[in-house]
Amino acid sequence: MVAASGASGAPGRSDMIIPRDQLDYWGYAALFSLYLGSFSLFGTLDRLAPGAATSALLLWLGLTWLGGALALLHLRSLPLAGTLLILLGLMPYGYFAWLYLSGAPMVGAFSYFYKFASLLCFPAVYLWCLRRPDARIEGTLLVLATVVALRALLAFAVPGLHPGRGGNGHEIMWDDVNIYEWIGPLPRVFYPGTALVFFGLVVSAERIMTRGTGMRLEVARALLFTAALGVTLTRGFLIAAVALIGLYVGLRWLTSHVTLARRTRLLLGLTLLGLGGMVGVAATPAGLTLSQVAEQYRGQERFSLDTRNMDWRAEQVALAFSLVQTPEQRWLGVGTNVTIPEDIKAPNPWETTGELHYSYHSVQWTFGYAGLTLLIVGGLILPLLGALRWRLRTPLALALGFTLVFIAIIGSYTIVFTNSDWNFMMVVCGAFLLARARQAAAEFRWFRQSTPSGLPALESHD
């Protein structure tokens, strides 16, 4: 009777059970969205209930520590790059402890916990990359990239619903999709996950070149990601994206096994699209409209190579580092509680910031040469060297490698390394490349050991 009742009840219960594979997929997507800001959880909570937002941030930090600790228990070894990034992620805690014990003001020190929390995720992300196939990793990141891109375009279309000084005026959190300013009649949209959107664009370009089915979907998705990058109205993003995508397409064009017929169709399609656009502009009223729009924006800084903004940033950096006086400050930074005027030449006590925003100087200012070395070596150089050493050529390895280069380029001039989403994407890129390099090294050692003594062993670069 018990067995029968259990059997009769089983079909109903089985319909309610989520397959473990799907639970793993969506669980990690939801978890990663907290670090990438895909759904603006903290920003939304801050506007609805500030106390709940603070509690959520504390729980998020606790989850970060728990996930990193559990992953370390399951790993036999951690790459040097991961160790360096963890040390950088721990520096805010070291400064916080020193400020607390010395009785110094701690204004702004807590914010660095979540700015650098992503770095402490390296062990968990590295373990995830070791245990998941490329298709699962790519799918998880791609669904989040699509969500971010759609939210960016929604903000561009309906700016009044979004926070920011150009939107509804509400204060923004780091994970908010926000309207930074207006450039003429166009809203300038800032959002977390820009590097993730670039990754999605690279993946779509790869699929367009190499897949025989689903072409329309991938073209639509590539246009979506391109538009999402475009609504930032940020010259550096667009120039770097165009250059790297062009380099990627050229590289894959020469190295991938794409049939001549497919290459011909792609070239013919792009040529016809370009010619059709030129004819449409020249022979229809659209040409006059575009001319009027171009004339309207001719003097706008966003649509020119005007260097005044970059010159101002360089001047801010030079003036800020003039405040660094001691060898300790040069090597360990000024700390996490030092505020500087937004405009050093005309300081206003009500307009200050707790960090030097721009480029790699943002880490160097706060954590000195020590922190800068940990960032560059652990976050950028070692993962790329690992990929080159073992010649990782899979589409996902190339896509994440190019994304890491994109992060390095954008980080050379604007706010990157003090944002959780950029840091997390850097961790994902580095963890994946190092995980696949480790697996390639293990396969090479296996081949070396299994090679008969009378035969030459494989070279490491094969």
| pLDDT tens digits, one per residue of 4-60 | 444 444 455 555 677 888 999 999 999 999 999 999 999 999 999 999 999 999 999
Give pLDDT, residue 391: 92
Domain boundaries, the chain: 39-256+308-445
Taking alpha carbons only, the member of 173, 150, 138 closest to residue 225 is 150
In whole angstroms, give the CA distance from residue 405 to residue 244: 9
- In 3D space, the residue among 415, 404, 423 whose CA is nearest the CA of residue 365 turns out to be 415
311-329 core/surface letters (b: 16 or more CB in 10 A; e: else): eebeebbeebeeeeeeeeb
Instruction: Tokens for 23, please give them.
Output: 């639970």
Position 8 scores a pLDDT of 47
Instruction: For residue 127, give the nearest of 432, 447, 460 by alpha carbon.
Output: 432
Residue 443: predicted pLDDT = 87
Rounded to two decimals, the pTM is: 0.88
Low-confidence ranges of the chain (pLDDT < 50): 1-10, 454-455, 457-462
Per-residue pLDDT at 283: 66
pLDDT of residue 43: 94
How far is Cα 97 from Cα 106, in angstroms, rounded to an integer?
10
Q: Residue 91, Cβ neighbours under 10 Å: how many?
A: 23
Phi, psi of 360 (to 5 degrees): -65, -15
Contact 131, 147 (CB under 8 A): no
Q: Which two tokens stand for residue 457?
A: 């062993």
Residue 263 tokens read as: 């290459």
Residue 264 in 3-state DSSP? helix
Q: Give the per-residue pLDDT at 440.
A: 94
Q: Are 219 and 208 in contact (CB under 8 A)?
A: yes
- HSE-CB at 455 with a 13 A cutoff on CA atoms is 9
CA distance 228 to 194: 8
The pLDDT of residue 302: 60
What are the Cα distances from residue 222, in Å, to 172, 213, 240, 302? 29, 15, 16, 23
**Which 8-state DSSP code applies to residue 117?**
G
Q: What is the DSSP string of 290-349?
A: HHHHHHHTTT-GGGS---HHHHHHHHHHHHHHTT--SHHHHHH-S-SS--EESSSSS--T
CB neighbour burial string for 390-415, b if at least 16 within 10 angstroms, e if fewer? bebeebbbbbbbbbbbbbbbbbebbb
Residue holding tokens 């003097």? 299
SS3 158: coil
Nearest to 32 by CA among 436, 424, 430, 433: 424
Nearest partner of 321 among 284, 280, 287, 369, judged by Cα? 369
Q: Which amino acid belongs to residue 235?
A: R
- Return the beta strands (E) in 184-235 as ranges: 186-190
Instruction: Please give the pLDDT value at position 6.
Output: 46
Q: Return d(Cα 423, Cα 411) in angstroms, integer.
A: 10
Task: Please answer whether residues 191 and 148 qualify as being in contact, where contact means their C-beta atoms are separated by less than 8 angstroms.
Answer: yes
Are 392 and 437 in contact by the 8 Å Cβ rule? The answer is yes
CB atoms within 10 A of CB 142: 20
**Backbone phi and psi for residue 229, each to the nearest 5 degrees, phi listed first:** -70, -35
417 vs 34: CA distance, rounded Å = 17
Question: What are the strands, taking DSSP E only, across 270-405?
Answer: 340-341, 352-353
Residue 264: predicted pLDDT: 73
Phi, psi of 214 (to 5 degrees): 70, 25
- End-to-end Cα, the chain, rounded Å: 63
Residues 6+ apart with CB under 8 A from 271: none
